[in-house]
């Protein structure tokens, strides 16, 4: 069974950070949802053993069309220039 992650956020009605899910369209934009560091069990060091100061998870979403969504979890704060590095595409 896969690990399940859940978090709460206050939905925004503009922009691409923490946007209300019902307002997302297949507009080519990447939407970012900021997680909480509290309870996050990810590593606190990078692949070279260097400490990572901001371990806060973020979740990137992009609605491709009516039945496909691109999703990826990353570490760090949401920014205006989000990019996928290794997304998963889900089909409903």
pLDDT for residue 48: 67
Beta bridge partners of 68: 91
Is it the case that residue 40 has pLDDT exceeding 50?
A: no
Beta-carbon contacts of 42 under 8 Å, excluding residues fewer than 6 positions away, are 55, 57, 75
Whether the full predicted model's pTM is greater than 0.85, yes or no, is no
pLDDT for residue 56: 80
Q: What is the mean pLDDT of residues 20-27?
A: 95
Q: Which of 50, 67, 68, 63 is nearest to 19 (CA)?
A: 63
């Amino acid at each position: 069974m896969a690990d399940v992650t859940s978090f709460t956020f206050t939905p925004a009605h503009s922009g691409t950070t923490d946007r209300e899910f019902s307002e997302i369209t297949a507009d080519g934009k990447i939407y970012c949802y900021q997680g909480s560091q509290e309870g996050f069990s990810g590593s606190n060091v990078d692949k070279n053993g260097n400490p990572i100061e901001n371990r806060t998870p973020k979740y990137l979403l992009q609605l491709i069309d009516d039945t496909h969504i691109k999703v990826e979890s990353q570490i760090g704060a949401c920014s205006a220039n989000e990019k996928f590095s290794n997304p998963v595409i889900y089909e409903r």
